[in-house]
Amino acid sequence: MAFTLTVNGKTHVIESSEDTPLLYVLRDELGLNGAKYGCGVGQCGACTVLRDGAPLRSCLAPAAAQRGHELTTLEGLQGPEGALHTLQKAFLAEQAGQCAYCIPGMILAAEALLRAHPQPSEAEIRATLDSHLCRCGSHNRIVRAIQRAAKEMAG
């Protein structure tokens, strides 16, 4: 079937079966590799994107069901000429990524959190990241990076 998807402000015509996961369309059809395949069953958060500003597990969500929604991937957070988003800079400053496989999902979850709660408590940050797995064990640095970004965005 053919349908349109709006990703990072651009509209694309997609041809895929009705149940093809959004993650596959983003990576294989649109070349947006920010979202990662981790578990494939909605449990690790590596595939997280934003749908109308809210986190969505793209490994489970059919692409065809996203018609009419605004989707944002990690690539969509960057400014003109690839300028890094404040969250990306904060993750670098705190050296929050080791293998970094989980980081795109973490950053998008943090972006949704900071939009809703610009000054979250540490408990709110940890609750947001609860369903995002980091196999390198960088969670404390990731929390610090989000706190740093919140401060910088407020300042």
Nearest to 133 by CA among 97, 102, 98: 102
> Taking CB positions, which residue lies at the least distance from ligand FES?
59
Q: Which residue has the tokens 């065809």?
A: 64
Residues within the interface to ligand FES (CB under 6 A): 37-40, 42-47, 57, 59
Q: What is the smallest separation between the CB atom of 135 and ligand FES, expressed in angstroms?
A: 12
Q: CA angle 72-76-78, nearest 5°?
A: 150
Is the CB of 46 or the CB of 77 nearer to ligand FES?
46
Q: What is the smallest separation between the CB atom of 154 and ligand FES, expressed in angstroms?
A: 30
Question: Which amino acid, 27?
Answer: R
Backbone Cα Rg of the chain: 15
Is the CB of 47 or the CB of 63 nearer to ligand FES?
47
Q: Please, where are the H alpha helices in the chain?
A: 22-24, 86-93, 103-116, 122-129, 139-154
Is the CB of 6 or the CB of 131 nearer to ligand FES?
131
Report the alpha-carbon distance of residue 152 to residue 72 in Å, rounded.
22
Q: What is the smallest separation between the CB atom of 26 and ligand FES, expressed in angstroms?
A: 12
Q: What is the smallest separation between the CB atom of 152 and ligand FES, expressed in angstroms?
A: 28
Is the CB of 40 or the CB of 62 nearer to ligand FES?
40
